[in-house]
Amino acid sequence: MSIKYFVTITNYAQSYYIKRFKKQHESAWPITEKAIIVQYERLDNFLETSKAKVILKSGNIKIIKSEFSVAGTKISPKKSGNKCIAAIDINKKTVKILLVYCKGDVSNSQNETFWWRKKIIDNYLEYKSLF
């Protein structure tokens, strides 16, 4: 039996990127958001899949990058280009969803990793020192 994590979505993620997903996928977004939350609640199981991986670890904090598809689109998470970046506190058993974005949110002139790292550094002071 895996440990259940407490999942929250940050205001920044809600205001900037999820807002667009909600508008584009009105009826499907609530189901998609719930699926993302449930996956992170069962983090230990989620990390055993190919949809999520630890991209940074420092002390009790892990930064996880995962892929997801919007409910009902019949597109695989990998092909969808939709990503979620979350910060995990292993000791507190909490997950903060920091970014939810699609490949189209990243400027063509920028490297995706550089883009999301800069977003985290600029908007989440508590994680700035990890990079």
0.85 exceeded by pTM:
yes
The 10 Å Cβ neighbour count of residue 61 is 17
pLDDT per position as a tens digit, 3-52:
899 999 999 998 877 777 777 777 788 898 999 999 999 998 898 888 89
pLDDT category, 123, cuts 50, 70, 90?
Answer: very high
What pLDDT shows up at residue 36?
A: 92
CA distance 129 to 110: 22
pLDDT category, 1, cuts 50, 70, 90?
Answer: low
Describe the strand order of the beta sheet including 82-89 as a list of residue ranges: 6-9, 94-102, 82-89, 61-68, 52-58
What pLDDT shows up at residue 96?
A: 97
What pLDDT shows up at residue 51?
A: 86
What the chain holds in terms of domains, given with CATH numbers, is: 6-128 (3.30.2310.20)
> If you average pLDDT over residues 71-82, what whole number do you get?
81
